Structure 1
Amino acid sequence: MSRKPATHRPRKRFGQNFLTDHSVIDRIADAIAASEQDHVVEIGPGQGALTETLAPLKCQLDVIELDRDLVPGLLAAFSIYPHFTLHNADALKFDFNTLGSAGAPLRVVGNLPYNISTPLIFKLLQDAPIIRDMHFMLQLEVVQRLAASPGSKHWGRLGIMAQYLCAVEHLFDVPPEAFNPPPKVQSAIVRLTPWQSSPWPECDQAQLRQVVQASFAQRRKTLRNNLKALIDSADLERLGIDPGARAETLELTQFIDIANAIHAK
């Protein structure tokens, strides 16, 4: 199938920036390396730039597109493939459990609109048991937050929860000129692979989320202040954690220790 020039005018309210650089598209497809046995879910296919590389692979391919004006073009281009299904839906409200199964975990891909990327990633992290991996085009700063290390300005709630559930790989950056229209920010490709055997101690996820959210509620404040409603300074010290430290200095295992201590009470 030939790649046709864009005919749909990108809509700002949908956060549409269509990927048009064929070398970047091919590089993303190579990173995904989908096969006939895979069940791929593409979020926000747009005009089908990446879909065009996935559909001929004969994998089971579900695409989720919110913009109704893009649906006719996608159906015209890809409904010839028997394993292709289009869902005209909002990915933030879509139930991914209706697609996944233990025998065929989902491989989720997409060029995510910047305005929904963080809430959508948090939503998908909750579905990690039915997901094999995720490959996303995101704003570079979001990828830096996902892949951050303790002590960096990017270390926070998104990276901690993502790394607790997944291996995070910042694969490569994508310049604005690869899109139409060019966004005002740099983009990057990230791979998230849910742990089959977690390297982290067991922890109640809801408790961990509460601890992390409270710890970073006011980044400039100390743990003593941010966590005073959840745990006192003496208990933090018993865990070997300085109550006067800021959240960005803590390792993931220390957040897990705090969450487990609170949960034990």
Structure 2
Amino acid sequence: MPKIRVDKRSRIHQEVSKQGIVFNKDFGQHILKNPLIIQGMLEKSALRPTDVVLEIGPGTGNMTVKMLEKVKKVIACEVDPRMVAELQKRVQGTPFQAKLKIMVGDALKTDLPFFDICVANVPYQISSPLVFKLLLHRPFFRCAVLMFQREFAQRLVAKPGDKLYCRLSINTQLLARVDMLMKVGKNNFRPPPKVESSVVRIEPRNPPPPINYKEWDGLTRIAFVRKNKTLAAAFKQTAVTTLLEKNYRLHCSLKNTSVPDDFDLKTKINDILTEAGATEKRARSMDIDDFMSLLHAFNTEGIHFS
């Protein structure tokens, strides 16, 4: 096993690939080296010859070249110019060259093109923002088969009452069906990461649920700040009441509705929670229907979260 030295100034792992590339920790570069794992991910993707596939972080292209054998086109989004050069070199002069489009840059800051499927060994530090960038992307894609840090993957599929159930769980499951596919040990990567990994399949709900996602996200953000607290306690926080009162007055002004002099937001919130039977509920055990009902109750009374 080659030694790994870390230069504190550049934080670059001095472990070199077969192609002579030094892996960069800042980009979360852990190259998937086991061909059986790659094969398993592609089988679970059910790729079609007509598919356009988006790959985030292709690295040296081990999975990319396998997909190019099966699909119409692969769009690879890569932030590291060294990996881009390696990928270009790998397909140069082959029939795959015309089927590969490389987008150089940060996937989170890039306007993603149309694609049918996303397959990726995701750099772990961008996991959460990438999931929501994909789920809010239009037009809809068929599915995504993604490798994440294991605990992150477990949060994606967690159900009400589970220890890892959180805002990530319910926000993702509102917009998509999420299934755990396989566990991947750290020794399947070069260099090995410090954590275990898992592969999940994410299938967007099409059509999406008929709610304003920003409103939904605002409500779950408040409820899950302290997921073990009652909703009554969560909504008593000064920062929460200040935000909701500001939103209430803004919406009233947009509708040319006057706010009564004796208006008391805290009383209004308590009345809504009581009427909805949600005063003693806790976010940790609430499901999507519970939050939908609660959001409707607040919005009906003019309380908004965005």
Fold conserved between structures, TM > 0.5:
yes
Q: Which moved more, 1:79-88 or 1:184-193?
A: 79-88
2:149 match: 139
TM-fit CA distance, 1:132: 1.5
TM-fit CA distance, 1:136: 0.5
**In the alignment, which of 182, 186, 190 is matched to residue 176 of structure 1?**
186
**In the alignment, which of 103, 112, 121 is matched to residue 87 of structure 1?**
103
Other structure's SS at 1:235 match:
helix
Take 1:237 and 1:47, find their aligned partners in 2: how far apart are those partners?
57
Query: Can you give the 5+ residue segments of structure 1 that lack an aligned partner in the other structure?
Result: none
Other structure's SS at 1:190 match:
strand
Other structure's SS at 1:53 match:
helix
Take 2:281 and 2:154, find their aligned partners in 1: how far apart are those partners?
23
1:164 match: 174
**In the alignment, which of 233, 236, 249 is matched to residue 285 of structure 2?**
249
**In the alignment, which of 269, 277, 291 is matched to residue 240 of structure 1?**
277
Q: 1:179-194 alignment to 2 at 5 Å?
A: 179-194=189-204
Take 1:171 and 1:59, find their aligned partners in 2: how far apart are those partners?
25
TM-score (norm 1): 0.89
Q: 1:209-228 alignment to 2 at 5 Å?
A: 209-228=217-236
1:116 match: 126
**In the alignment, which of 32, 54, 77 is matched to residue 90 of structure 2?**
77
Whose radius of gyration is greater, 1 or 2?
2
TM-fit CA distance, 1:137: 0.4
Alignment partner of 1:30 is 2:43: yes
Cα displacement string for residues 201-246 of structure 1 (whole angstroms, at most 9, x for unaligned residues): x3221111000111111234321122343572331232232x2332
Q: 1:113 to 1:178 in 2, by over 3 A?
A: same
Q: Alignment identity in percent?
A: 31
**In the alignment, which of 39, 44, 47 is matched to residue 57 of structure 2?**
44
Q: Which moved more, 1:202-211 or 1:120-129?
A: 120-129
Take 2:269 and 2:163, find their aligned partners in 1: how far apart are those partners?
26
Q: Does the CA contact (< 8 Å) of 1:203 and 1:259 recur in 2?
A: no
User: Structure 2: which amino acid aligns with 1:210?
Assistant: G
TM-fit CA distance, 1:59: 1.9
Other structure's SS at 2:109 match:
coil
TM-fit CA distance, 1:171: 0.5
The number of equivalent residue pairs is 253
Q: Does the CA contact (< 8 Å) of 2:60 and 2:83 recur in 1?
A: yes
TM-fit CA distance, 1:33: 2.2
Q: Does the CA contact (< 8 Å) of 1:204 and 1:260 recur in 2?
A: no
Q: Which moved more, 1:122-131 or 1:228-237?
A: 228-237
Alignment partner of 1:262 is 2:270: no
Cα displacement string for residues 111-133 of structure 1 (whole angstroms, at most 9, x for unaligned residues): 11111111111222211642221
Q: Does the CA contact (< 8 Å) of 1:92 and 1:120 recur in 2?
A: yes
2:13 match: none
Alignment partner of 1:60 is 2:73: yes
TM-fit CA distance, 1:27: 0.7
Take 2:166 and 2:91, find their aligned partners in 1: how far apart are those partners?
40
Take 1:13 and 1:107, find their aligned partners in 2: how far apart are those partners?
27
TM-fit CA distance, 1:197: 4.9
Query: Can you give the 5+ residue segments of structure 2 that lack an aligned partner in the other structure?
Result: 1-16, 245-267
**In the alignment, which of 206, 211, 221 is matched to residue 214 of structure 2?**
206
Q: Which moved more, 1:118-127 or 1:36-45?
A: 118-127
Q: Which moved more, 1:10-19 or 1:222-231?
A: 222-231
Take 1:221 and 1:153, find their aligned partners in 2: how far apart are those partners?
14
Q: Does the CA contact (< 8 Å) of 2:53 and 2:71 recur in 1?
A: no
* Alignment root-mean-square deviation, CA: 1.8
Cα displacement string for residues 84-141 of structure 1 (whole angstroms, at most 9, x for unaligned residues): 1001110010111xx21xxxx5311111111111111122221164222111100011
Take 2:119 and 2:176, find their aligned partners in 1: how far apart are those partners?
15
Take 1:127 and 1:54, find their aligned partners in 2: how far apart are those partners?
22
Q: 1:185 to 1:15 in 2, by over 3 A?
A: same
